[in-house]
Chain A
Amino acid sequence: MPAMPLLPPGAVRPVVRAPDPVLSTPGQDVDPTDATTIELVADLLATQLVSPGCVGLAAQQVGVAARVFSVDVSGHAKTRTCHGLFALCNAVVVSATRRERGREGCMSVPDFTGDVARGRRLVARGQLPLTGQWVEITTDGFEAVALQHEIDHTNGLLFLDRVSGAHGIHPRRTYL
Chain B
Amino acid sequence: MRDEIIAVTVLGHDRPGIVADVTGALADLHGNLEDSTMTLLRGHFAMVLLVHTGAGVEGVEAALRPLCAGGALVINARVLEEPTPGPAPGPSYALRVHGADRPGIVATITAVVARHGANIIDLGTRLVEGLYVLTAELELPVDASVVGLESELRGAADELGVEVHLSPIDDDLL
Q: Could you tell me which A residues sit within 8 Å of B by CB distance?
A: 53-56, 78, 102-107, 113, 142, 145-146, 149-150, 159, 166-167, 172-174, 176
Contacts and interface: CB of A to CB of B under 8 A. Distances in A.
B174 A145 contact: yes
A61 to B, nearest CB: 11
Contacts of A56: 174
B169 interface: yes
A150 B173 CA distance: 12
Most chain A CB atoms below 10 A, which of B39, B92, B169, B173? B173
B174 A172 contact: no
A106 B174 contact: yes
B84 interface: no
20 contacts: A56-B174, A78-B170, A103-B170, A103-B171, A104-B171, A104-B172, A104-B173, A104-B174, A105-B171, A105-B172, A106-B174, A145-B172, A145-B174, A146-B174, A149-B174, A166-B38, A166-B39, A173-B89, A173-B139, A174-B171
Contacts of A172: 171
Given A167-B37, A167-B122, A106 B171 contact: no
A105 B169 CA distance: 13
A136 B147 CA distance: 43
Given A167-B37, A173-B89, A105 B170 contact: no
Interface of B: 37-39, 89, 92, 122, 139, 169-174
Most chain A CB atoms below 10 A, which of B37, B139, B172? B172
Contacts of B122: 167
A113 B171 contact: yes
B49 to A, nearest CB: 14
B173 A176 contact: yes
B169 A55 contact: no
Contacts of B172: 78, 102-105, 142, 145
Contacts of B173: 53-55, 104-107, 176
Contacts of B92: 173
Contacts of B174: 55-56, 104-106, 145-146, 149-150, 159
Nearest to A52: B173
Contacts of A150: 174
Nearest to B170: A103
A107 B39 CA distance: 30
Nearest to B90: A173
A107 B174 CA distance: 7
A18 to B, nearest CB: 14
A173 B122 CA distance: 14
Contacts of A107: 173
Contacts of B170: 78, 102-103
Contacts of A176: 173
